[in-house]
A and B are shown apart, each in its own frame.
Chain A
Amino acid sequence: MRRKTITFSRIVEAGMINFVRNASLAIAAMAVMVVTLTIVLFSIITSATFSNTINQITDKIDISVYLNDSITPAQKDGLLTQLRQLPNVKSVSYLSKEDALKRYIDKNKGNQDLLSAVNETSNPLPATILIKPRDLNKIQDIKNFLTKKDVAALQSNEPSYSGDRKAAIDKITHATNILRQGGIGAVIIFTIISALIIFNTIQMAIFNRRDEIQIMRLLGASTWYIRGPFVVESIIYGILSAIISILLVNAAFAASSGALQASSLGLLDIQYASTYFTSNFLWLLTLQLAVGIVIGAASSVIATRRYLKFKTSK
Chain B
Amino acid sequence: MILLDRVTKTYGRSGTPSLDRISLHVEPKEFVIVVGQSGAGKTTLLRLLTREERPSSGKIIIGGIDYDKLKDKDIPLLRRKIGVVFQDFKLLPNKTVFENVAFALEIVGMGRKEIEHTVPKVLDIVNLKGKENRMPMELSGGERQRVAIARAIVRQPKILIADEPTGNLDPKHAWDVIRVLEKINRYGTTVLLTTHNQEIVNKLKRRVVTISHGKIASDKANASYEIQS
Contact = CB atoms under 8 A, between A and B. Distances in A.
Most chain B beta-carbon neighbours within 10 Å: one of A212, A215, A225: A215
A313 B54 contact: yes
| Chain B interface residue bracket vs A | 20 to 34
Most chain B beta-carbon neighbours within 10 Å: one of A10, A211, A221, A313: A221
B109 A7 contact: yes
B77 A311 contact: no
Contacts of A214: 90
A220 B106 contact: no
Nearest to A6: B109
A216 B103 CA distance: 9
Interface in B104-133: 104, 106-112
B181 interface: no
**A interface majority secondary structure:** helix
B54 A220 contact: no
B76 interface: yes
B52 A218 contact: yes
B50 A311 contact: no
B215 interface: no
A216 B80 CA distance: 11
Interface residues of A, number: 24
Contact of A216 (B54, B75, B107): B107
Contacts, number: 60
Contacts of B40: none
Interface string B140-166: 000000000001000000000000000
Contacts of A60: none
Interface string B81-114: 0001010001110000000000110111111100
Given A220-B78, A312-B54, A6 B111 contact: yes
Contacts of A314: 54-57
Given A311-B52, A311-B53, A311-B54, A220 B76 contact: yes
A215 B92 contact: yes
B49 to A, nearest CB: 12
A2 interface: yes
B107 A2 contact: no
Contacts of B110: 3, 6
Given A220-B108, A310-B72, A215 B90 contact: yes
A314 B56 CA distance: 5
Given A3-B109, A7-B109, 10 more contacts: A3-B108, A3-B110, A214-B90, A218-B79, A220-B80, A221-B76, A222-B73, A223-B76, A310-B72, A312-B72
